Amino acid sequence: MTASTPKIGFRQFPPALKFVAVWMGFNCIFKAVEFIFDTRAFISEIPLNTSHIWDIGGLISSYVLFLLLNGLINKTNSARIWTAIFTGLGSLVSAIFLGRVLFMIQRHPSASLGYEIFDYDIPITLVQFVGFNIFWIVTNLIVLYILLRPSAKAFFTPPPPPEPPLQETA
């Protein structure tokens, strides 16, 4: 019965591309939930007589990730290329940020580290900070490697049109 059911979308992906889709879906949902929590906290703290800046970066990045995920599931090659570009740039920026923070901590040993999640500051140690950021960079580099493999490129490119049969002349 499963042989007669055509595989479409996510079920058709090889396991490595399923990992990419799940990772992007996780990032999309996380950014959307983080935007919702930040907006809720922002609205509850607005005094009526001052102006504030509303941070919509999480909403925009969540929307872009959703569009790229939709493009990947629909096997669009441009979505694969843009996902690889954004993942590569994100990994590069994360590595620069990690190096900058580590050198800043060495100059100012009294500096405290923290991770902000859903508008709450969570203090962390230097080892936890480095471990989390290295995990994030390595996971993004794995996603980049999967997207740039020749098998992924072949998976996203449409098959060539069939050639017409040769006609014999007598």
Domain ranges of the chain: 9-154
Is the pLDDT at 136 greater than 60? The verdict is: yes
Instruction: For residues 168 and 146, give the distance between their C-alpha atoms in angstroms, rounded to a whole number.
Output: 45
**pTM check: above 0.85:** no
Higher pLDDT, 24 or 126: 24
Tokens of 12: 């058709």
At 12, is the pLDDT very low, low, confident or very high (cuts 50, 70, 90)?
Answer: confident
Give the CA distances from residue 58 to residues 19, 52, 109, 110, in Å, rounded to whole numbers and listed in that order: 22, 17, 31, 31
Closest by CA to 10, choosing from 19, 84, 147, is 19
The pLDDT-based confidence of 5 (bands split at 50, 70, 90) is: very low
pLDDT at 77 over 50: yes
pLDDT band at 138 (very low <50, low <70, confident <90, very high): very high
At position 143, the amino acid (one-letter code) is V
Q: How many CB atoms lie within 10 A of CB 31?
A: 20
Nearest of 9, 2, 59, 70 to residue 32 by alpha carbon: 59
Which long-range contacts (C-beta less than 8 Å, at least 24 apart) are formed by 105-111? none
Comparing 40-54, 70-84, 125-139, the range with the smallest average pLDDT is 40-54
Query: Binning pLDDT at 50, 70 and 90, where does residue 4 land?
Result: very low
